[in-house]
Amino acid sequence: MKFGKEYVSQMIPEWQQAYMDYACLKTILREIQTSKKRSERQQGDLKPKVPARRSFSGMTKRYSRNFSSRDIENQDILVHQTIGDDGFEKYETTILKVAEAGRESELVFFKTLDLEFDKVNHFYKSKVEELVKEAVVLNRQMDALIAFRIKINQTSCLWSCSETVSVDINALDAKEQKGKTLAEETEIKVEDNGSNGGDSSVLKELSVLDRIRLNKNQETPLCTIRNVLKLSNHEELKFTRENLKKIEERLKNVFIDFYRKLRHLKNYSFLNTLAISKIMKKYDKIASRNAAKLYMEMVDKSYLTSSDEINKLMLRVESIFVEHFASSNRSKGMNLLRPKVTKEKHRTTFSTGFFVGCTVSLLIALGMFVHARNIMGAAGHKLYMETMFPLYSLFAFVVLHMIMYASNIYFWKRYRVNYPFIFEFKEGTELGYRHVLLLSFGLGTLALCAVLVNLDMEMDPNTNDYKTFTELVPVFVVGIVIAISICPFNIFYRSSRFFFLVVLFRCIAAPLYKVNLPDFFLADQLTSQVQALRSLEFYICYYGWGDFKQRRNTCKSSNVYSTFYFIVAVIPYWSRFLQCARRLIEEKDISQGFNALKYLLTIVAVCLKTAYSFNRGNAWRLATWVFSVLATLYGTYWDIVYDWGLLHKPSENLLREKLLVPHKSVYYIAMVLNVVLRLAWVQTVLDFNISFLHRETMIALIAILEIIRRGIWNFFRLENEHLNNVGKFRAFKSVPLPFNYNEDEDRIS
């Protein structure tokens, strides 16, 4: 792999704009090379180089203090450091020998290189300062943890008799230390016979507990209710081993996350330094210079490479983590600190291919079976479509949605959308597109096997009913899927299943939970699975109150079923409406109010379309048209402008300035498809029927079109979210700290 591709592949996606623009510099070098070759063709041979002095600033006298005339004549460039108005150091390069061929391009090259290096240097320094401040906070958290341990173990005081409570992870230099930390000042030294001095030290350590309280690990519905009622959520600090275990687990995760930030920043410094070295070597080769050595000497003296803060922090974090969270087992501690690399397994690829083959084979077999037995013209065809088809269409909707999600993952990876970070997946547990395809086609194979087993249009002539076993096959398949979903054992991607169930519960419990991106993203997926939810309702009605042995049901004639037919369709939109309402109240963002209005219009439109399907009156038709058109126009505008970020602040191409897909036509096609697929509801109002398609088939096709629209929406929605994170350089999720210090008391002390 060429360095340029490897360089891009190792970038932190959210920091991409902060890296050296290696591709731009290579483009300038090609211009230098082209100019040089053109000059060679025109002149036949190169003229001797004429020593010349060119400075970007025009102030070259400043170098006379540091370099003699002989030094200058022997050098190709000079690099000078200045301090800008913002207090950051800046670097300016002066070319001492400029050939006639490629002169302007060489000036542009070094001007661009200096600007890029200044950008990298400033970004690195700002991030180091952020992490140093975070280290100070972690130091105080460790003081509190150790005091908490002492409080619990003070009766025996076995480990504290010999343990030093100095954690000082921010011991970088004298400038960063305003004084000794509490842990340094109070080193526990309890003698064997027990002394007053030791007791005094312990009491001094425990004094930190008077200024802290526990941060809650996660929000609960009870907390939300108490906040709404303006009741106190303060809990007394309880010194129990259960609390200690929770605190240690949370602080351990904080240290792991902090260490990975340090690793990312160290890798950032290494990659950019390597990029500068590579590009300067290319410059020397193309321009026949010897400038790389001098420029790299400047780079080595800069903050980017000479600063040692990150290395010191990493060593201190490793030491503290191994001692306090890995029982002094360095191997165990480092395994926890280092990121887990997810390896693609051949068995996953093989299994996916196997189930894809099975699904295709079963589809072909199903088609041949239907044609050979002329099932479409059989007497039981209508009964089958009204009873069994809605049961099995549920699996088609789920499988298609999973395939669309797998496609999204593939293109997110291809265009470097950091979807694990955006969705806040636990590192190393996110599913790749192969894993999702394996699950989807595995479910598809299971469902198609059930369809073939259950494809019986005639009753048993002896008993005048259908076989109970075959009629219960759909329930068995649904039961298997539910059992796997809630299975507590570490099989079938337990972490992902648990994450899905937690987010699903948060969607159902809206607005009792703070709304995060995974919450409203999943709720939006559910709005495209209304027909699947109605299929689940049909399961309950058909097997609960219908005579499934005779393939008869009274669902559509039941008022209770009809009522829940409305309710089930509204639930996903209502959940999104409540999520928007909570965000409007908490974030004071008026756009969330307009988003809530969008879902309110959609609820009305869905209810009217459902009512019209039961009562074909002109009044219902007119109301359905009006609200469906309003909801479609509003939803389309919101998707394209706000969710996708297109046409919001348009550039010359009517799209946003930053696009991940290089072909702009893709965005225009996606916008047109969004409008067309949103208009699928028109078929319901126009009663457009195809003679050879049953009504249930038409309903399923419309549901499939909506799932495809949602799959397209998913890619551009996450692309826009990724670009927002890139604009703010948000590359790490915030991990909640276990302790919260009372700042007022801290200042008094």
Give strand ranges (E) for 60-185.
77-83, 89-97
Is a pLDDT exceeding 50 seen at residue 184?
no
Which range in 43-52, 295-304, 474-483 is most confidently predicted, on average pLDDT? Answer: 474-483
Alpha helix positions (H), 192-240: 196-206, 221-228
Domain ranges in the chain are 130-248, 346-727
Instruction: Count CB-CB contacts under 10 A for residue 567.
Output: 12
pLDDT-wise least confident of 20-34, 222-236, 433-447, 724-738: 222-236
Kindly state the average pLDDT of the residues 71-90. 69
Classify burial at 358, counting beta carbons within 10 Å of its beta carbon; exposed 0-12, middle 13-18, buried 19 or more.
middle
- Quote the pTM value: 0.83
Mean pLDDT, residues 109-117 taken together? 91
Which pLDDT score, from 0 to 100, does residue 709 have?
Answer: 96
More confident residue, 166 or 552: 552
pLDDT > 90: percent of the chain: 43
Query: Does position 304 have pLDDT exceeding 70, yes or no?
Result: yes
Q: Report the pLDDT averaged over residues 489-516.
A: 92
pLDDT of residue 730: 74
Specify the residue for token string 């019209």.
Answer: 612
pLDDT tier for residue 231 given thresholds of 50, 70 and 90: low
Q: Is 571 exposed, middle or buried (0-12, 13-18, 19+ CB in 10 A)?
A: middle
Q: Tell me how far CA of residue 227 lies from CA of 223, 417, 510, 582, in angstroms.
A: 6, 36, 15, 13
The torsion angle over the Cα atoms of residues 3, 5, 9 and 12, rounded to 10 degrees, is: 80
Predicted local distance difference test score (pLDDT) of residue 739: 82
* Cis amide bond preceding 339, omega within 30: no
Q: What is the SS3 assignment for 90?
A: strand
Contact predicate 499/485, CB 8 Å: no
User: Helix 309-325 vs helix 103-153: angle between axes, to the nearest 10 degrees?
Assistant: 30
**What would the mean pLDDT of 58-75 be, rounded to a whole number?**
44
State pLDDT tens for residues 589-609. 899 999 999 999 999 999 999
Q: Which of 235-239, 332-336, 365-369 has the lowest mean pLDDT?
A: 235-239
Residue 472 has pLDDT above 50, yes or no: yes
Read off the pLDDT of residues 371-416 as tens digits, 9 standing for 90 and up: 887 777 776 778 888 888 899 999 999 999 999 999 999 999 999 9
Strand partners, 740: 213
Flag whether pLDDT at 288 surpasses 60.
yes
Residue 90 — very low, low, confident or very high, per pLDDT cuts 50/70/90?
A: confident
pLDDT at 55 over 70: no
3-state secondary structure of 207: helix
pLDDT bracket for residue 556 (50, 70, 90): confident
pLDDT for 208: 76
Residues 44-72: what's their mean pLDDT?
A: 43
